[in-house]
Each structure stands twice: as structure tokens, then as C-alpha cells.
Structure 1
Amino acid sequence: MAKQASPTTVIPDTAWLARGRHLGPDPELDVRRNLIALKAAGVLDDFMELEPAEAARSTALYPREPAADPGPSARRVFEARWRVGDGVTVRAQLTTYTGEARRRSQESVAWILAAEAEQRWEPAWPAPVTMFWPDGGRVEWDHDMVPGVRLGSPNHLPADDDELRELLRDCARQSWYLRFVVHEAMTPDALGRRPLAAFLPPSLRHQVIEHRATPQQAQIADFALRKEFGVRMPRGGAVVLPGAEPHPAYDADRFTLHTVFLDGTEPTELITRIIEFASIPRPMSAEAEAALTRLRRGWHLLTPDEELAHAQRMVHHYAEALEAMTQSRDRYQEATEALQSALKEATNGEVPTPGQLPVPPKPTTSPRTAFTKAIGRFRAPGK
């Protein structure tokens, strides 16, 4: 199982985090087009695009804290701001990367998104990824870091036992998403093949991976899940999988459903369990924590009020620095005057020039010669 940054570090209830891969030649172009369209439609308040070096240099909201560097493999940094609910402001930052996933597959670019609201995040709010990436499946931005796994569509488990267990382990180590497995008691029709995650609230819809086990995989899926996570796979049922570090609030029996109908209707009980599981505090990985830190410390897209507040903070900061320099100068001047006064008192009111200062007598022997003689006395017989 993957180790997290700290057992006490959990995702704040105001944050929304995601990571994935874009399959295509120009992911940044897809982001730009979507941002421009949503701003023109009034969905976004504003957005901006930054070079990674520029994003690392500036710390607009937190001028005294060091900027969080997006890393040497960062390609572009995008920021967007919008409002949800009753005027709650959401700030989000998406960074595209050329990293290990790019080297493995020349057709994929990794991305990380961190968003934070001014209050607790509500599942009914739009998913931040849909502000940057076009929603609808036309652009393949919604691939998980684990190859072969995608958001928004059922992902059938491998037929081979070893491959199935390896997939589950990789998802636990690399994926930031919630996951559930559904067993198809019989081969579903077109309605049954629709993704069940589509019934989730908008924010959760893009934070959940749906796995499917075919009718023939009842035993192999049950065996793999029991070995990897300690949960069972009922025939014709479903199970919400625990995270890499299961929370004490996770109860395998409660998050296991014995019957799920794949007929196109909403699986109410399963949706309820997924929403309940999503409310359990989840540990935050080191990369997720770094992304949230970059969002908080390296935010650039300021409102007019924020720009004014930032300017006032900078004026206050420079005033404090100037005051400290003035005080340091005054202390230095006082010390100089005190030294001159003491020197006049010691010389009866006459301040000697540097040429008149007494010269210390030159030693007749060097310290090395004296040290050698002292050692020699101890070497004498009987000493």
C-alpha cells in the first residue's frame, strides 16, 4: 500500500483535488479553448495562463512566504476563479506536466488540479475539472494515472488474476479517486452499460472510478478484493473500496451492497453509500499537499479588492523594513559616539590617530617554537 505524507494530514473539506492524464497532441490548447468559452458565457469570473518559472517566482497573496515551485517537468500553469452557490468564490490551479507518464507513453501528458472554496465544499457544485477541461467525452483528458482506467465510463477488470490484482494495487498507490466495483450478474444491455457514476452529484461525478466485473469474474474478483482490501464481491452486487490507508470509519459490511440492478435506473443505495464514503476524511498524499500549497501561496489571479489589499500589505512590509534600517543606523551611530567618548576619556581628551596607537611588542619566539620546547621537556627521561 502507498504511504501518505502524514497519517494526520487529511484533505481539507474546502479543497477539491484531482490528477490524471491527457491523451492527445496539445492539452494546453484544449484548456485555453474551454476557459475562453466559459468566461465568454459568464461561468468564470476570470482566468490566466502562466509560465512555470513565472508561477514559481511570484507570491502575490503571501509575499513573505516562499513560492511553491511547480517542478522542472511543469509545462504550463492555468488559474481560474468562479463563484458557486450564494456567491462563494472558488480558486483553482491546473498544471500540466511532462514526466514519467510522458516517457512511458508519448501520447499522454499528466496534469494536477487543486481547487479551494471559501467555505466547505458542496457535492452539488460543479466539478473544477469541467472549468478547465471540456466535459462530454470528446477530449480524452479524463484518464487516470493507471493505464487503462478512465473517469466517466465503466472500466472492466482484467480477466487474468495476476493482472487484476496488479491493477488494484496500482490504483491504490497512484490514483487520487474514489473507486467502486460492480459485478454484472448477467451481460447488461445498452442501458445497463451506462456508467453508474453519472447518477452522482456533479462534484463527485468526476472524482469516482467505476470498475466492472463480468458475469464470469465473480470468483476471481471476490478473491482479488479479499486479498488486496479485505472486502467481498457479492454476485450481482457492488462494493465501495477503501483507500490505501482505510479510515476507522470505513465498515466493509456497510459499503458492500448485495444487489445492484443494471437496467438504467438509478442505484439509489449505491449512490448513497458513495456519497457517505466521500464524506469520510481522506489522507492527503505528498503531491496533493504540494499542489494545495502552490494554490494557496502562489495565487496570481487577484480581484481589484485583493490587489488593493496586496498593495497595502506590501506598503506595510516596506515600511517595517525601512523602520528596521533606521533603527539599525541609529544604534550604530550611538555605539560610535559612545566609543569615541570612552576613547577621549582614556586619553585625557586626546583622540590618537591610527599612527599613534601603541604597537604590541613582537614576540621573541614563535608560538610553534615555544610549543616544541614544552613538548621536549615531557620527553626527557623520568618525566
Structure 2
Amino acid sequence: MAKSSSSSTPVPDTAWLGSGCHLGPDAERDVRRNLIALKAAGVIDGFLDLDPVEAARSTDLFPRDESADPGPSARRVFEARWRVADGVTVRAQLTTYEPESRRIVGEGVTWVLAAEAERPWEASWPSPATMFWPDSDQVPWDHDRVPGVRLRTANHLPKDDGELRRLLRDCSRQSWFIHVVVHEAMTPDALGRRPVTAFLPPSLRHRVVEHRATPEQALIADFAMKRELGVGLPRGGAVVLPPTSQAPGYDPERFTVRAVFLDGTEPTELLRKIEEFASLPRPLPADAERVLTRLRQGWHLLTPDEELVHARAMVTRYAKALEAMTASCDLYREAAESALAALAEATGGNHTSPNPTPAAAADQDASPMKTLTKALALFRNPNR
């Protein structure tokens, strides 16, 4: 998987996207177990466990182009389909990848997930992440692609200024998630250490990474964030970070909360800011654009009705292609017949002459050529 960068295309309002790392021993086994359990419980309608080569293979009935290929480092492709409120169908595809560098200890298995619904996504719907991954703290699937950053917990910022600034840069360039920084005005108790993301709606909970600055980090965190991203961190407050340092339309004041009480109660204002930020158009990471295209163009888990519709569409497509080929052959045949007739007319039925004079020979050569050119010109005329 290449490092992420943003494109000019916004994330569709029907899509849910995520990318992270699984640091456990067998990522694919964890996915399979979860899918089997949810299928048995009736939570999902069905799923597929695909070899990447087979997933990208093109057939006569299912022609696929290169957009369906997850790449040479792909380990496994999983598809799942389920229904949410009012019977809205959601289709999702999760692909696991080999670590980018096997020399880095604990880098884990990279995964990308794209889900798309039949209508605009709602935060109250179930999280696509927990349709594939078990929602258990014992399964370490929820690490960001940025090392040392994890979902479902409060990540404390590095104490070193250089490391902190490097972390902020990596989060803005590599991560697909929304990042929030909260400053602890004083060291919280057990209830205050609970991540504020736990209060978010299900489908938004696994799209947000929470960072914590300790009481003594107020100045260093504020300085580093202003330097790298152009946003400040209020003492005892919080801010939703922009996806890039030059994010268009981002207003720091709009997504800053002056006071957050970390006492275990629901931080209503901060949650509202996060939900508001999540509803805004966001640039689609370049990696995500390919993943979303692969979900749409390389989908395999069809219902019987969808298979019938697809088969009928392919029959119609091949019939039109055959009709076009037949028409083309007829045109070529007509052109050849016209050319032969013109040549016969020009030579009087004789293609050779016993002893033509040089002038006659030249005139004889020119006349058939002129006639043949006219015949071919008629064939090239689209109105013929």
C-alpha cells in the first residue's frame, strides 16, 4: 500500500472508508470468525472470502479491468452485504495487505475498508469496521497506519517537540481518520480517562482518533499544532484537526471547544463539533479512490436477482456487439464488391494488355486507380 495523499474528488456521502493495521498474529482468521458469527446471527446477509488473484480475474460473464486488481501485495479480499434502517443495502469490501516493510518489527497487516449504501450514510448505522473485525479490545485491528496511534482509546501525545510535530504531519498525510486533540486541564481519574470517542454514534466511532495532551503539555502542543497545521489548542479544551495544513474552508474557531470536562460525563459540545466536521465534504485520499472504485467495479457478492439482471445485461451487450460486427462485415463486403466492379469497368474486363504503348499503359494504370479511389471514398462516406 502506498502512502496516502489527497485528491480533488470529495468522499461520496454514501460511502464509509477506513484504513488501518492489525498487529495480531492472524488478521484473516479474526475476520473470518467474525463474519461467520454475524452470518449465523442474521446480522449480515452474506459474505465472501476471496483469493486476490481470483477476485481480479476476468471472465466472459464478468469482465473486469485493472481497477478490480487489489495489487501484488494483497493477502485476502473479503466482501459482506447487510441491511440497515428501512432495508437499505450496504455493500462492503475489506482487503488485507502484506506489511510495507518486513524489516519493521510489529508493523502488522495493513487493511483497507470501503462500504457504500444505497442512500447517504447515517452516523447511527452500525460501523462497517465491526462487521469485519470483532469489537473487542483483545483483537488489535484498530491501529492507524500512523505508528503508535490507535482507535477506541485516548492516545497521549509525544513529549518531545520533534516527535510531536512529526506525528501531526503523519496524521495529516497518511491517516484516513478524523483526528481530535483534547488537553487535560488536570490529570483525570478513571472515568476521565475514558475516551470521548466512546460517546460518538456507532458509525462515527471508528472514524475518529483521539489524542490527549497532558496538563504540562499545554504550551508545547499548542505551539506544535500552530506550526504544523495552523490551529491552536486551548488550555483545558479541544480542537478537531484539519485533514491537511491547507484544508479549504476549514475554520479553526468553528471546530474548537474552549472547555472539556473529563469527568466521565458526555462532552456534548465537542461531540457536536466532531459530528459537524464529519458531515462536511472531505478530500478523498488517493488510495481510497482506488479502493472505492474496486468496490464498485469488482463486486462479487451478488444476490440471485442481481445475477439475473447482470446476465441479461451481458446478453444485451453481446447482442449489440455482434450486430455491430455483422454490419461492419457487410460494409466491408460491399466496398470490396464495388472496388472489383469499378476495376472491371475501368479495364473492360481485361486486367492486362498484350503490347500497350507507354502512353496507353500510363493511362490504363491511372484510370483504374481513379475509379478505385472513388469507390473507397464512397465507402468512407458515413452517409453511404
TM-score scaled to structure 1, two decimals? 0.87
| 1:337 matched residue in structure 2 | 337
- For the residue of structure 1 that corresponds to 2:329, the secondary structure is helix
2:270 aligns with: 270
What amino acid sits opposite 2:75 in the alignment? Answer: R
Q: Per the alignment, in what secondary structure is the counterpart of residue 283 of structure 2?
A: coil
Q: Which amino acid aligns with 1:286?
A: A
Equivalences for 1:179-328 in 2 at 5 Å? 179-244=179-244, 246-328=246-328
How high is the sequence identity, in percent, across the aligned residues?
Answer: 69
Q: Which blocks of at least 5 consecutive residues in structure 1 are unaligned? A: 361-383
> Deviation of residue 249 (structure 1)?
3.5
Structure 2 residue identity aligned to 1:37: A
Instruction: Please tell me whether the aligned partners of residues 61 and 311 of structure 2 are also in contact (alpha carbons under 8 angstroms).
Output: no
Residues 280 and 156 of structure 1: CA distance in aligned 2, closer, same or farther (over 3 Å): same
Matched residues in 2 for 1:64 and 1:338: separation?
A: 41
Q: Residue type of the partner of 1:238?
A: A
Which has the larger displacement, 336-345 or 312-321?
Answer: 336-345
Q: CA RMSD in A?
A: 2.4
Q: Distance in 1 between matches of 2:206 and 2:238?
A: 19
TM-score (norm 2): 0.87
Q: Quick one: structure 1 residues 41 and 59, their matched pair in 2 at CA, closer, same or farther if it must change by over 3 Å? A: farther
Residue type at the aligned position of 1:94? L
What is the alpha-carbon distance in structure 2 between the residues aligned to residue 132 and residue 103 of structure 1? 28
Task: Give 3-state SS (helix, strand or coil) of 2:321's partner.
Answer: helix
Q: Is the 8 A contact 1:59 1:298 kept in 2?
A: no
- What SS does structure 2 have at the residue aligned with 1:284? strand
Q: What SS is found at the alignment partner of 2:224? A: helix
| Residue in 1 that maps onto 2:126 | 126
Tell me the distance in 2 between the aligned counterparts of 1:137 and 1:58. 39
Distance verdict in 2 for CA 1:102–1:36, change over 3 Å: farther
Partner residue in 2 for 1:41? 41
Please say which of residues 103-112 and 267-276 is displaced more in the overlay: 103-112
Partner of 1:174: 174
Q: Does 1:69 align with 2:69?
A: yes
Aligned partners of 2:74 and 2:172: how far apart in 1? 24
CA offset at residue 3 of structure 1?
Answer: 8.4
Give how far 1:343 is off: 3.2
CA contact (8 A) 1:60 1:298 kept: no
Gaps of 5+ in 2: 359-384
**CA–CA separation in structure 2 for the residues paired with 1:38 and 1:149:** 28
Q: Match of 1:36, as an amino acid?
A: I
**By how many angstroms is 1:161 displaced?**
1.2
User: Is contact 2:82–2:89 with CA below 8 Å preserved after alignment?
Assistant: yes
Q: CA separation in 2, counterparts of 1:181 and 1:82?
A: 34
User: What CA distance in whole angstroms lies between the structure 2 residues aligned with 1:255 and 1:236?
Assistant: 15
Deviations 1:294-329 (A, max 9, x none): 111111111112101110111011111211221122
Q: Which runs of 4+ in 1 moved over 6 A?
A: 59-62
Matched residue type, 1:325: M
1:208-267 Cα offsets, whole Å, 9 max, x none, are: 000001111111111111111222212211111111155443221222112111111100
Structure 2 CA distance for aligned equivalents of residues 105 and 60 of structure 1? 44
CA contact (8 A) 1:24 1:107 kept: no
Q: What are the Cα deviations for residues 108-156 of structure 1, in whole angstroms up to 9, with x where unaligned?
A: 0000001111110000011111100001212000000111110000000
Q: Counterparts of 1:344 and 1:253 in 2: how far apart (Å)?
A: 86
Q: 1:229 to 1:45 in 2, by over 3 A?
A: same
Between the aligned partners of 1:12 and 1:84, the Cα distance in structure 2 is: 18
Aligned residues: 355
Q: Is the 8 A contact 1:15 1:121 kept in 2?
A: yes
Which secondary structure state, in structure 2, belongs to the residue aligned with residue 189 of structure 1?
coil
> Deviation per CA, 1:315-357, whole angstroms, max 9, x where unpaired?
01111121122112222322232233223323434577xx99x
CA distance in 1, matches of 2:202, 2:291: 22
Query: What letter matches 1:93 in structure 2?
Result: Q
Partner of 1:53: 53
Alpha-carbon distance change, 148 to 3 in structure 1, aligned in 2, over 3 angstroms? closer
